[in-house]
Chain A
Amino acid sequence: MIGYFFSRLGLSALSLFLASLVVFAVMIVLPGDPTRLMMGISATEDAVQALREQMGLNLPLFERYFTWLTGFLTGNMGRSYTYSVPVSELIYGAVSISLPLALIALILSTMIAIPTGLYAASRHGKKADSLSMGVAQIGIAMPNFWFAILLVYAFVLLPFQSQAWAGQGGFWGGVATLFSPAFSFFQWLKLPAGGFPGWETGFIPAFKALILPAIALALPQAAILARVTRSALLEILGEDYIRTARAKGLPRNLVIRRHALRNAMIPVLTILGLQFSFLLSGTIIIENAFYLPGLGRMVFQAITQRDLIVVQSVVMLLVLAVIVVNLIVDLLYAVADPRLRRPA
């Protein structure tokens, strides 16, 4: 177990080191001189040169890498070129939105996916199985930003518009009247269509701003996870030891719970680990779709504004998050599967 832990830790550290080299190298080759961007085209060559020296951009590459890395690790990430505030401050603000968003989405998708996958597997070949997997297929095929647009329409715009229709009669009027209790509930909820009021305005309004984005992020992930859970379970249900358990006299559902579920967690964990990276990708789009000032939107804007120092730190932070999450997944493997604990 200890050996396994250290070898995983070592591999993660190596990946992290290599990734930091990649991040640093990309920033070097990225076209566009940041000092020029900061000072504008009218600045004199001398002034630009002075700023370059002040920012340490004239130092040898190795030294710049080392300064950047130690700065990153100690939280001293420099100042944003565009906003002239410490990068760490910007990141802190953004993380306070992105982290809760990602966590809610992760919890939501797991809570939907695993019971669904379990249910579908236990009804394998029956209507309920095909139906839930059909829905999952559509969920996977749905781009999350389109889903976000539809969510905003259904929860925010439609309840408002339907009031006008309800009075008009006809087919759409009928539909509007039929759904009016739901629509009035949505109106009462007052979910914002986008933007973030900030945590300082109180928990409820801030949390409400994250609900639709979290759903938009979670459902496509849940669809994937549900399918993986189902197929992992089905694969395991074909194993010999399931037959052994059945021959003991355990009923099918108990066999699924006691013998298949834990074993199926191994592929499910793998996907959860991979999904974390997809989730981060998703936040870039979803935060843009909902105008949330989180990490995803921040890095997107920083890239388009050539705010390299912000990009460097945020990308490194995200990569760190992915590697740490995968390390945790690797360690959870060992909990789930005793074969990994001791060398055979």
Chain B
Amino acid sequence: MALPNPNITVLPTRDVWAMATRSPAFVTGLILTSIILLLGLISLVWTPYDVSLVTIAERLKTPSHSHLFGTDHFGRDILSMIMVGARNSIAVALVAVGIGVIIGVPLGCWAAARGGLIDASLMRGNDVVFAFPALLSAVMITAIFGPGAVNAIIAIGIFNIPVFARVARAGAMAIWPRDFILAARAAGKSRMQITLEHILPNMMHLLIVQGTIQFSLGILAEAGLSYLGLGAQPPSPSWGRMLAEAQTMMSIGPHTALFPGLAIVISVLGLNLMGDGLRDVLDPKLSRSK
């Protein structure tokens, strides 16, 4: 989504952290994201109820002391399902971001370092990938290889590759003409060395900001895929499928649609706020205008 911002403001890492933690957006985002992360982590060792425990007698209970978020149409505890779903969403989005970074960033750096035909063909390839509506291709990929969390990761990850390639390329192109790169070339450094020593460290921030954005988009995409029934398969709970099931129960159990939706909003909001806070720190241009 976000366009790469070639205005690279260079700040030492320690200052960035200090400044970011003074930004209310960043701190709010950090707290929201931590809540979701914590829920997912706790679910590894403990959940209030077993998520596969079907108790028809307890079905569609509204929130109460015994079931904080109520139960769904099978009598399963919604809080427990959200906790396990958090794990699933985070894992899918995180690995998808990882795929994008590991493949996209080197490609972008390579294109920027070599220029010419390599750059042109890589960018053309990017355009072609961007021409496919992302979810459509994700649906196609999961349809080819079958639905499931792993294929959802691949489907989302593939679309992160051109995004990171673009960001890395734009960042690197903004750094290459700098004088300190000329100095490194005059010191006989190879393009590879220059990329590793000078280019990458100076665009880390761009990548981190883009990473948080892609992470949040990944969570949304995973929710969309599992809403369509193409994400993690039952009995493993996922936020999107919980909502798909809740949709059919809206007239008798509207609370079942409330909490999974909130969980998605909180995690995406948290990540976006963190990204925003970081960007404000890294791009003072936006905050200096009169």
Residues of A within 8 A of B (CB): 11, 14-16, 18-19, 22, 26, 29-31, 124, 137-138, 140-143, 145-146, 149-150, 152-153, 157, 161, 224, 231, 234-235, 237-238, 242-243, 267, 270-271, 274, 277-278, 280-282, 284-285, 288-289, 299-300, 303-304, 311, 315, 318-319, 322-323, 326
Q: List 18 A-B contacts (CB under 8 A).
A: A14-B124, A15-B131, A22-B128, A140-B272, A143-B240, A146-B257, A146-B261, A146-B265, A235-B285, A271-B3, A277-B130, A277-B131, A281-B135, A284-B135, A299-B139, A303-B143, A311-B140, A322-B130
Q: Which residue of B lies closest to A140 (CB)?
A: B272
Contact (A231, B131) CB under 8 Å given A137-B269, A315-B136: no
**CB-contact partner of B224 in A143, A237, A243, under 8 A:** A143
Q: Which residue of A lies closest to B267 (CB)?
A: A141
Find the residue from B131, B227, B276 having the highest chain A CB count within 10 A.
B131
Shortest distance in angstroms between B12's beta carbon and chain A's nearest beta carbon?
A: 24
Instruction: Label chain A's interface by main secondary structure.
Output: helix
Rounded to whole angstroms, the CA-CA distance of A14 and B121 in the bound complex is 11
Interface residues in B202-221 by Cβ distance below 8 A to A read 216, 220
Contact A138 B269 (CB under 8 A): yes
B170 in the interface, Cβ–Cβ < 8 Å? no
Contact B254 A157 (CB under 8 A): yes
Contact B264 A319 (CB under 8 A): no
What chain A residues lie within 8 Å of B272 (beta carbons)?
Answer: 137, 140-141
Contact (A285, B131) CB under 8 Å given A138-B269, A150-B257: no
Rounded to whole angstroms, the CA-CA distance of A64 and B1 in the bound complex is 36
Contact A31 B144 (CB under 8 A): yes
Contact B285 A150 (CB under 8 A): no
What chain B residues lie within 8 Å of A153 (beta carbons)?
Answer: 250, 254, 257
Rounded to whole angstroms, the CA-CA distance of A17 and B139 in the bound complex is 22
What chain B residues lie within 8 Å of A140 (beta carbons)?
Answer: 268-269, 272
Contact A284 B136 (CB under 8 A): yes
Shortest distance in angstroms between A11's beta carbon and chain B's nearest beta carbon?
A: 7
Shortest distance in angstroms between A50's beta carbon and chain B's nearest beta carbon?
A: 27
B65 in the interface, Cβ–Cβ < 8 Å? no
Q: Which residue of A lies closest to B264 (CB)?
A: A143
What chain B residues lie within 8 Å of A231 (beta carbons)?
Answer: 286
Total number of residue pairs linking A and B with CB closer than 8 Å:
156
Q: Which residue of B lies closest to A31 (CB)?
A: B144
Q: C-beta contact mask, B233-275 vs A, less than 8 Å → 1, else 0?
A: 0000000100110110011001001001100111011001100
What chain A residues lie within 8 Å of B240 (beta carbons)?
Answer: 143, 145
Rounded to whole angstroms, the CA-CA distance of A149 and B128 in the bound complex is 33
Contact A152 B250 (CB under 8 A): yes
Q: Which residue of A lies closest to B147 (CB)?
A: A304
Contact A278 B3 (CB under 8 A): no
B288 in the interface, Cβ–Cβ < 8 Å? yes
Rounded to whole angstroms, the CA-CA distance of A11 and B276 in the bound complex is 34
What chain A residues lie within 8 Å of B133 (beta carbons)?
Answer: 277-278, 280-281, 284, 318, 322
Contact A237 B289 (CB under 8 A): yes
Rounded to whole angstroms, the CA-CA distance of A282 and B227 in the bound complex is 12
Contact B131 A19 (CB under 8 A): yes
Contact B224 A19 (CB under 8 A): no
B173 in the interface, Cβ–Cβ < 8 Å? no
What chain B residues lie within 8 Å of A278 (beta carbons)?
Answer: 1, 133-134
Contact (A315, B140) CB under 8 Å given A15-B127, A267-B3: yes
Contact (A234, B243) CB under 8 Å given A277-B133, A281-B136: no
Contact A11 B127 (CB under 8 A): yes
Contact B246 A322 (CB under 8 A): no
B175 in the interface, Cβ–Cβ < 8 Å? no
**CB-contact partner of B132 in A31, A270, A285, A315, under 8 A:** A315
What chain B residues lie within 8 Å of A137 (beta carbons)?
Answer: 269, 272-273, 276
B11 in the interface, Cβ–Cβ < 8 Å? no
Contact B228 A319 (CB under 8 A): no
What chain A residues lie within 8 Å of B132 (beta carbons)?
Answer: 19, 22, 277, 315, 318-319, 322
Contact B134 A146 (CB under 8 A): no
Rounded to whole angstroms, the CA-CA distance of A29 and B289 in the bound complex is 53
Q: Which residue of A lies closest to B126 (CB)?
A: A15
Contact B140 A26 (CB under 8 A): yes
Contact A285 B268 (CB under 8 A): no
Contact B268 A161 (CB under 8 A): no
Q: Which residue of A lies closest to B128 (CB)?
A: A18
What chain B residues lie within 8 Å of A322 (beta carbons)?
Answer: 130-133
Rounded to whole angstroms, the CA-CA distance of A14 and B120 in the bound complex is 12
What chain B residues lie within 8 Å of A237 (beta carbons)?
Answer: 289-290
Contact A149 B131 (CB under 8 A): no
Contact (A18, B124) CB under 8 Å given A141-B269, A277-B130: yes
Q: Which residue of B lies closest to A146 (CB)?
A: B261
Shortest distance in angstroms between B28's beta carbon and chain A's nearest beta carbon?
A: 10
Contact B261 A157 (CB under 8 A): no
B94 in the interface, Cβ–Cβ < 8 Å? no
A19-B131, A299-B136 given; 10 more Cβ-contact pairs under 8 Å: A15-B124, A18-B128, A141-B216, A146-B260, A235-B286, A277-B133, A281-B133, A285-B227, A288-B227, A299-B139
Contact B286 A157 (CB under 8 A): no
Rounded to whole angstroms, the CA-CA distance of A142 and B286 in the bound complex is 25
Contact A303 B139 (CB under 8 A): yes
